[in-house]
Amino acid sequence: MDRSPISVFISYAHEDEVLRQQLETHLSLLRRQGLIDDWHDRQIMPGTRRVAEINAHLETAQLILLLISPDFLASDYYYEIELQRALEREKQGKAHVIPIILRPCDWHEAPFAYLSCLPHGGKPITTWDNQDKVLQDITSDIRRIIQPEVSALALAKKPDQNHKTTSPKFSPQSALTSDSKLQRTSLKRTSKKWPLAVLATTITLLLLLTVLVLRPGVIFGGIQSLSPSNGATATATQAARATASNTTTTAAIPSTWKPVMNDKLTAQSHESDWVASTSDSNDTCAFSPNFYEIVKSQLNYCNYGTSSAHNWADLVYSAEMLIHTGSYSGLAFHLRNANYYYFAISTAGDYLLEAHQDNGGQDTFITQGKSQVIHAAYDQWNMLKIVVKGTAITLYINDQNVAAVQDSTFASGTVAVVGGLGKQGAHAYFRNAHIWIPSPSSRG
């Protein structure tokens, strides 16, 4: 029976390019037979709007393959954007999602761990002696999902001891059913650990309760006496992830100031309050379901700021930012008539503050430098914060003070998020914008 090919979206970290190509080679017969139409971001043509192209394929894919590796899990972009959207569509019954474990990594507690993965048992592809054989098995499983009418006689001629059951018929309109053997495999693995986990938890609680009753000072006094140095072994990545959360800390916010913005930067938040500013047709400034995206060309700034109704002087302004490709990106403040301060960071660990003048004047670098607190890599979230009091400007990255300067080039204005620097392009994501200003009683 003739039918349209199944649309397949391959989500992977670019560090796994070789393994992705090997998988594509094994899928080639499915492609030749018109069973699948697979796509990944390397197929984007020059001059095409990258963000729109990726979103279009991700939103319409019937089958999504997640190629899991340490680099995939370490990337905020793939983990928090492509992975999360894939799982949302899977839970809505709009797509079938299959994690494929490429390289050894700690994936068992990841958000997709409830799904059955390939290869069966979760053994990473790179740990097999014969990688062609395991890739062939993966291809056979995918074929069974997308082509349920494969002849039972043909399967019987060459039985596969590793796969004794056939997969349920693929339907983009329904998620994996609870009676699927593939799902039960994951559930059984968890259930075996359950009695031991209950016993260990019970014993621990009983011991803690005993100590609390007999010597409460051991518990509470011990906590109070902990030295900050006890946490020194935490990695820089863990620290940055902790600060780049949905709640901005108030360490640099005067207690008498009031919040005037708490915006997640999604299409459902305060979209009508923001105005995109770009003059190049190749630039993109648009909301996605969970973030605000900027794709800036090499020709123009792509600014995104509130309306001119706001004229803030003293303020605290913060937002989280992820650079997917390109150079500097960051936050603008005291924006008026295309003139503004620009606080930006790069994936190399650099930061800068400049006064950008759009009336033919030259941009002035007020301060710049390097900081170890920057999550210095692509696809990593950093939280930027600016505190302005009169002519004093203090800059924070991941809630750490990196610079304090005095400057009076611009007195007041609105705010923006900015992708790129000068003629250098960038593709960046923003979320969780916050603004505080002095309350009337605190104004001097």
Say whether 134 sits in a helix, a strand or coil: helix
Query: pLDDT higher for 269 or 324?
Result: 324
Residue indicated by tokens 């031991």: 196
Confidence of residue 297 (pLDDT cuts 50, 70, 90): low
For the segment 266-279, the average pLDDT, to the nearest whole number, is 64
Helix/strand/coil for 403: strand
- Structure token pair of residue 347: 């994936």
Amino acid 427 reads: H
> Is the pLDDT at 66 greater than 50, yes or no?
yes
Alpha-carbon distance 44 to 36, whole Å?
18
The residue among 270, 337, 350, 273 whose CA lies nearest residue 305 is 273
Most confident of 42-46, 115-119, 200-204, 356-360: 115-119
Measure the CA–CA gap between 386 and 366, rounded to whole angstroms: 14
The CATH 3.40.50.10140 domain(s) of the chain lie at: 6-176
* Position 54 confidence tier, pLDDT thresholds 50, 70, 90: confident
pLDDT at 77: 82
Residue 55's pLDDT is: 83
CATH topology of domain 6-176: Rossmann fold (3.40.50)
| 287 confidence band (pLDDT: 50, 70, 90) | confident
- Residue 222: its pLDDT value, please? 31
Residues of the chain with CATH 2.60.120.560: 248-442
Is residue 252 scored above 70 in pLDDT?
A: no
Greatest pairwise CA separation for the chain in angstroms: 87
- Rounded alpha-carbon distances, angstroms, from residue 272 to 138, 254, 269, 312, 439: 46, 29, 9, 19, 25
The mean-pLDDT minimum among 32-36, 299-303, 345-349 falls in: 299-303
pLDDT of residue 148: 60
Q: Is the preceding peptide bond at 119 cis, omega within 30 degrees of 0? A: yes
> Do residues 437 and 270 touch, judged by C-beta distance below 8 A?
no
Do residues 64 and 96 make contact, with C-beta atoms less than 8 angstroms apart? yes
Q: Does domain 248-442 have CATH number 2.60.120.560?
A: yes
The rounded distance, in Å, linking the Cα atoms of 150 and 169 is: 11
How many Å from the N-terminal Cα to the C-terminal Cα in the chain?
A: 78
pLDDT score at 309: 64
DSSP assignment of 323-367: EEEES-EEEEEEEETTEEEEEEE-TTSEEEEEEE--SSPPPEEEE
Res 2: pLDDT: 59
For residue 311, pLDDT over 90 is answered with no
Asked if residue 274 has pLDDT above 80, the reply is no
Residue percentage of the chain with pLDDT more than 90: 36
Span of 187-201, 210-224, 365-379 with lowest mean pLDDT: 210-224
Taking only the tens place, the pLDDT of each residue in 144-198 is 888 764 333 333 333 344 433 333 344 433 333 333 333 333 333 333 444 555 5
* Mean pLDDT comparison of 179-193, 199-213, 285-299, highest-scoring range: 285-299
Is it the case that residue 94 has pLDDT exceeding 80? yes
Tell me, what's the pLDDT at 219? 32
CB 391 within 8 A of CB 408: yes
346 has a pLDDT exceeding 50 = yes
User: How many C-beta atoms surround the C-beta of residue 443 within 10 A?
Assistant: 10
Give percent above pLDDT 70 in the chain: 67
154 three-class SS: helix
User: Best-predicted range by mean pLDDT among 191-195, 235-239, 390-394?
Assistant: 390-394
The letter for the amino acid at 267 is A
Cβ burial of 159 (10 Å; 0-12, 13-18, 19+) is exposed
| Per-residue pLDDT at 344 exceeds 90 | yes
* Nearest 10 degrees: Cα torsion 137, 138, 143, 149: 50
Q: Greater confidence, 407 or 46?
A: 407
Bridge partners for 42 per DSSP: none
Phi, psi of 189 (to 5 degrees): -60, -40
Burial call 213-237: b when 16+ CB within 10 Å, e when fewer: eeeeeeeeeeeeeeeeeeeeeeeee
Q: What is the pLDDT of residue 201?
A: 65
- Give Cβ neighbours of residue 400 (< 8 Å, ≥ 6 apart): 371, 373
What's the pTM value of the predicted model, to 2 decimals? 0.54
